[in-house]
């Protein structure tokens, strides 16, 4: 398996080492030199030196370039990042989940493999595999492996309940992920199991997290604060800090992707914060999302006008996503006639979900009393 | 892109960040910063929304 990935990233070129959070930017000439190689010769000395200085990586001089370095081609699609819900099925039943009804369904393996090739062909260097709970999908290991083989830096978004499983630990040790993001639903068994509505989930989480730490996996914790566990928010942060994990705190839930407002009723009112003002988004232009059935959208929230990548056009259909993105970002339905539209700072697809859910304006409109902004990230 | 119809200053996309013109390889200490500047969701709800 490759030690290095050399890949175009938007208008730049990167050298990446799987599992590493640092990289190297290359001049285009260096990339062209590598891309033109037939790969039978050794790794160029300059690249060997860079790998040694950046990651203390000693490349085997006896291995040819093609076995050591995966040089990814330029993509005419120009995407750099993608997220993929491998399956919406989940082993938990959290009331705050923005996916709403989490049906266990997805593509058969042959179609999954075809889709993963499309993600690579679209130019995605970073891939987030999410769900539902992705690790319970029966093709998760194969899908992760294929994405890795194609030169993607993979983030897995998980509840951590299966991280202790030997098959997963072996997978993540052999083929290092860029990151494993674990949601945190409580600091005690009572609140955690209460939020997930699954007895034993806290024990599975702590077991999984301990195994991930033992395996030195690159963990980030996403702390979810709701009315069920709000009294433990400080404890959850302390848990992350105790083990030195990067973490983010999420206090604002969003309506479901179907426009349901049931998720909003479990928000912790005392923890709510104003969202970061919208300042433009590259959704659909530099990154995109794909659901379990191969339907591409600009992101996880803006799912209107999905593009079927499994259709006869295949990946070519994705070229229409830019137009979809521009259209969705400009749609003002529900805010028509607002006298303050000139200073609107809300993501339009997100606003649409709130409006469908008939949520109070204060839940999403930025025109109001300034409050502390959402999300704190520390490391 | 800044739109002037209906929502006069609504910025649909962040301002372009011109790619650096490199003559030699340059280390990137934190790849997240590179991603966040160009390829991350602006509102977070559509990107890393915990579920």
Tell me the pLDDT band of A377, cut-offs 50, 70 and 90.
very low
Q: Check residue B1 and give its pLDDT.
A: 55
- pLDDT of residue A375 exceeding 60: no
Tell me the pLDDT band of A175, cut-offs 50, 70 and 90.
very high
ipTM of model: 0.90
**pLDDT, chain A, mean:** 93
Q: Check residue B39 and give its pLDDT.
A: 67
Is B20 exposed, middle or buried (CB count within 10 Å of its CB: 0-12, 13-18, 19+)? exposed
Chain A residues 203-232 with CB within 8 Å of chain B: 222-224
Gap between the Cα atoms of A352 and A273, Å rounded = 19
Shortest CA distance to A82 belongs to which of A122, A110, A140? A122
For residue range B16-42, list pLDDT tens digits in order. 778 788 999 999 999 999 888 776 666
For residue range A88-108, list pLDDT tens digits in order. 999 999 999 999 888 899 999
Instruction: List CB contacts (< 8 A) between A54 and chain B.
Output: 27
Between A198 and B43, residue with greater pLDDT: A198
CA distances (Å), origin A175, targets A65, A148, A151, A169, A210? 19, 7, 11, 10, 19
Tokens of A129: 């595999």
Q: Chain B residue closest to A276 (CA)? A: B43
Size of interface A-B (CB pairs under 8 A): 162
Instruction: List CB contacts (< 8 A) between A23 and chain B.
Output: 27-28, 31, 34
| Mean pLDDT to the nearest integer, A60-71 | 95
Answer yes or no: do B19 and A83 touch at CB < 8 A.
no
For residue range A254-288, list pLDDT tens digits in order. 999 988 999 999 999 999 988 888 888 899 999 99
């Amino acid at each position: 398996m490759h030690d290095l990935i050399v890949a175009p990233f938007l208008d730049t070129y990167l050298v990446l080492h799987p599992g590493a959070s640092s990289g190297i930017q290359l001049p285009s000439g260096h990339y062209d030199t590598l891309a033109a190689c037939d790969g039978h010769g050794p790794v160029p000395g300059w690249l060997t030196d860079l790998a040694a200085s950046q990651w203390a990586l000693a490349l085997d001089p006896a291995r040819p370039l093609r076995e050591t370095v995966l040089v990814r081609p330029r993509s005419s699609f120009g995407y750099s990042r993608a997220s993929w819900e491998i399956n919406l099925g989940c082993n938990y039943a959290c009331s705050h989940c923005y996916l709403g009804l989490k049906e266990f369904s997805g593509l058969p393996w042959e179609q999954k493999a075809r889709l993963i090739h499309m993600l690579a062909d679209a130019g995605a260097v970073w891939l987030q595999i999410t769900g539902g709970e992705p690790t319970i999908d029966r093709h998760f290991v194969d899908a992760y492996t294929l994405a890795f083989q194609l030169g993607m830096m993979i983030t897995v978004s998980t509840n951590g309940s299966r991280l202790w499983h030997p098959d997963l630990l072996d997978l993540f040790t052999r083929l290092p992920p860029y990151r494993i993001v674990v949601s945190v639903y409580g600091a005690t068994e009572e609140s955690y199991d209460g939020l997930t509505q699954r007895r034993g989930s806290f024990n599975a989480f702590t077991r999984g997290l301990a195994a991930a730490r033992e395996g030195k996996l690159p963990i980030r914790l996403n702390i979810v604060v709701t009315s069920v566990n709000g009294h433990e928010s400080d404890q959850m942060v302390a848990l992350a800090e105790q083990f030195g994990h990067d973490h983010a705190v999420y206090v604002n839930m969003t309506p479901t992707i179907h426009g349901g407002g049931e998720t909003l009723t479990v928000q912790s009112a005392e923890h709510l914060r104003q969202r970061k003002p919208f300042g433009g988004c590259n959704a659909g232009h530099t990154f995109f999302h794909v659901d379990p059935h191969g339907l591409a959208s600009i992101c996880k929230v803006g799912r209107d006008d999905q593009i079927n990548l499994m259709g006869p056009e295949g990946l070519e259909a994705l070229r229409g996503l830019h137009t979809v993105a521009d259209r969705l970002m400009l749609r003002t339905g529900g805010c028509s006639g607002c006298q303050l539209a000139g200073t609107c700072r809300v993501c339009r697809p997100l606003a649409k979900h709130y409006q469908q859910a008939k949520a109070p304006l204060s839940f999403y409109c930025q025109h109001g009393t300034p409050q502390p902004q959402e999300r704190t990230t520390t490391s | 892109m800044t739109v002037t119809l209906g929502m006069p200053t609504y910025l649909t996309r962040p301002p372009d960040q011109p790619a650096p013109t490199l003559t030699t390889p340059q280390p990137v200490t934190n790849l997240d910063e590179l991603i966040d500047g160009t390829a991350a969701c602006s509102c977070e709800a559509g990107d890393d929304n915990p579920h």
